[in-house]
Amino acid sequence: MIGAYQMLPTMMVAGYGWALFSKSFSNHLLVSYFVTAICAALYLIVPASGPGFLLGGSLAAAHSSPAIGLIPLSYVANCIPSAHLSMAITIWFFNRSNVIARRVCLAFIFVTGFTTLALGEHYLIDLVLSFPFALFVVSSTTGRYRRAAAAMACVLLWLNAIRVAIDTLVNHPVWLWVAAAVTIAGSSVYLSMSSAEQVEHETSMKELVAA
């Protein structure tokens, strides 16, 4: 399981190679690797470490939910959003024209999401925010700046709510789950729209070159 979680650097290289081979937005994918580094600044808004760091080996054992409160953080903030899942989504996005690469990257998204939770590297909310953050990355690298701004606004809204209104979120779990579902669904819809636009643009470019 740890090996699967540590596959990201390999997938980054493979994803870029597939994009080069398919001649589909390889430069955009390369730039997106650097844009994802913005995560480091976002981590400082809600400094947190995954439960695997805080609970250690006791994570696998049954334990009651702790009371909500601030915990001294003796580890590097690495949580919200998950850079691993965001990067996995981005790699998939820029390799949709390659059938094999698309399926492998899609499987990698699910593997990454599962292992980040199973290993205690992230919380579920970290994965939720990875979808709008990935939308921000792909939109900003493809020149869709309004969509990128909207996606980042969604991320910042969530982070602000977690920081200043965590009690309200926890005390209204139904609305919290609804908001999380809407965030994932909305981001996925826009990612699909962007993918369709990407394929259309790529097809037009190939026809132009062929002409």
Residue-wise pLDDT tens digits, 79-92: 789 989 999 999 99
For residue 68, is it within any domain? no
Is the pLDDT at 199 greater than 90? The verdict is no
> What pLDDT, on the 0 to 100 scale, is given for residue 149?
94
Which are the contacts of 85, defined by CB distance < 8 A and separation ≥ 6?
109, 112, 113, 116, 122, 126, 127, 130, 134
Choose between 206 and 118: higher pLDDT. 118
Task: Give the integer Cα–Cα distance in Å for 71 and 153.
Answer: 27
Q: With pLDDT > 90 as the criterion, what percentage of the chain qualifies?
A: 26
Give this prediction's pTM.
Answer: 0.80
Task: Give the integer Cα–Cα distance in Å for 134 and 109.
Answer: 12
- Where does residue 176 rank: exposed (0-12), middle (13-18), buried (19+ CB within 10 A)? middle
For residue 173, is it within any domain? yes
Amino acid letter for position 152: M
For residue 67, is it within any domain? no
Task: Give the integer Cα–Cα distance in Å for 33 and 161.
Answer: 27
> What pLDDT, on the 0 to 100 scale, is given for residue 154?
94
For residue 69, is it within any domain? no
Q: How many CB atoms within 10 Å of residue 102?
A: 17
Among the ranges given (41-50, 52-61, 119-128, 133-142), the one the predictor scored with the smallest mean pLDDT: 52-61
Per-residue pLDDT tens over the stretch 159-198? 998 888 877 887 888 988 999 999 999 999 888 876 555 5
> What pLDDT, on the 0 to 100 scale, is given for residue 185?
94
Among 167, 84, 160, 161, CA closest to 126:
84
Helix runs in the chain, H state only: 2-5, 8-22, 26-35, 39-42, 51-55, 83-93, 99-118, 124-141, 145-164, 166-171, 173-210
Domains in the chain, number: 1
Structural domain harbouring 57: 2-61+75-210
Is the pLDDT at 205 greater than 60? The verdict is no
For residue 88, is it within any domain? yes
Is the pLDDT at 56 greater than 60? The verdict is no
For residue 96, is it within any domain? yes
> What pLDDT, on the 0 to 100 scale, is given for residue 61?
55
Task: Give the integer Cα–Cα distance in Å for 21 and 7.
Answer: 21
Among 109, 118, 51, CA closest to 78:
51
Amino acid letter for position 201: H
For residue 57, is it within any domain? yes
Helix axes 26-35, 124-141, angle to 10 degrees: 130
Among 106, 55, 95, CA closest to 195:
95
> What pLDDT, on the 0 to 100 scale, is given for residue 169?
80
* Mean pLDDT of the 95-115 span: 87
Q: HSE of 113 in the Cβ direction (CA atoms, 13 Å)?
A: 15
For residue 130, is it within any domain? yes
